[in-house]
Amino acid sequence: MEIFSKMPQFLSDIIEKFFGKNGGSVLGVDIGSSSIKVVQLRRQKGRAILETYGELALGPYAGSNVGQSTNLPVEKVVEALRDILAEKEVNLTTRNCGVAIPFASSLMSVIEMPAVPFKELSQMVPIEARKYVPVAISEVSLDWSVIPQDRDERDDKNAPAKTEVLLVAIHNNTIEKYSEIVTKSGLSSTFFEIEIFSTMRSILDQEVVPVMILDMGATSTKLYIIERGILRSSHTINRGGQSVTMSLSKSLGISMQEAEVMKREKGLPGEASGIGLKDVIVVTLDFIFSEANQVVLAYQKKYNKNISKVFLVGGGSALKGLEEVAKKSFQTEVVCGNPFGKVVAPAFLEDVLKTTGPEFAVAVGVALRKMQESE
């Protein structure tokens, strides 16, 4: 078993000494394509206390390397979950959890509807959804919410009487799959949540103006534009952290495993074999950032509003030097997401958690919701 991020036992012991013994603990579980991430929290005096966290690479379960994406059958995912739950160094003490569902397993779209009373709208949305859902409506779990209009939109007397609705659909087979994983792993989950909503909860505060979350995973990069706490736009780019590793492997003539280690240790500033790592890596990043800028421009054109800040999250965002390259590309403020900033932990862990944080945005967000649910 390969765990490449974890809280050592002695740190868990220190946290217990600082904040008391475990009680009412909850777990956030994020099952990604390249790793499983878990975060355990508990509430004390109105505060979220970090108890432990860990990350388990899934590549070895598919006969691949650490960092590589997988498409594991249910049985292998269950095996991996059982392994991390039993890992003594991670020291998880609860099975009471919430679980994130990958964005790719959902369908999400903003649709325009007539401005009619809610009761009438609730009858119209499932019918309109048939245009956007590629399978029978009976085969999915459908949810939707009205996106509030801002003052400028309400004051436009010439605008047609329209309202925007965020439509969300998850195939019933996906829910059944995750239910099976949870049951066979010995977990007790009360909800499944699409990962973007978990990320929003852990990363954002009270931003009113539009911001973008750039979530760089192993095989893809997800883009989310949020305004006033509402998801307004989403997009997926089919390149991610693994694309960077593959470029390094091919350019330097080294194995994927060696390229992954080099990427993590040296990042954008590194040099190797007379070839600038930055030059190799930037080719992939330029593609991702170019696509992202197109999404930003489309949003600005549609709503006449600028993106005020970009948050970097996901395993790929841990690449050294990424923040500076992103700032030059987006020409706006760019920051690495800090989900652990919403939990309490000893001060001496602050730097470690800031560095690790972007990878755990989803798991922290799920744990925060589970903790609120348990109040």
Predicted confidence (pLDDT) per residue in 340-355, tens digit: 999 999 888 888 898 8
pTM reported for the whole predicted model: 0.88
Predicted confidence (pLDDT) per residue in 168-196, tens digit: 999 999 999 999 999 999 999 999 999 99
What are the b/e assignments for 160-190, b being 16+ CB within 10 Å?
A: eeebbbbbbbbbeebeebbeebbeebebebe
CATH of 202-337, one of 3.30.420.40, 3.30.413.10, 3.30.420.10, 3.40.50.970: 3.30.420.40
Q: Name the burial class of residue 260, with classes exposed (0-12), middle (13-18) and buried (19+) by CB atoms within 10 angstroms of its CB.
A: buried
pLDDT of residue 270: 57
pLDDT of residue 206: 80
Predicted confidence (pLDDT) per residue in 227-257, tens digit: 988 999 999 999 998 898 888 888 888 888 8
Among residues 256, 252, 251, which one has the least CA distance to residue 241? Answer: 256
Q: Where are the domains of the chain?
A: 1-95+338-375, 105-172, 202-337
CATH number attached to the domain at 105-172: 3.30.1490.300
CATH of 1-95+338-375, one of 3.40.50, 2.60.40, 3.30.420, 1.10.3470: 3.30.420
Secondary structure class of 6 (helix, strand, coil) = strand
Q: Same CATH topology for 1-95+338-375 and 202-337?
A: yes
Sequence-separated (6 or more) residues with CB below 8 Å from residue 301:
none
- State how far the Cα of 252 lies from the Cα of 286, in Å rounded to an integer: 19
Tell me if 41 sits within 8 A of 127, measured CB to CB: no
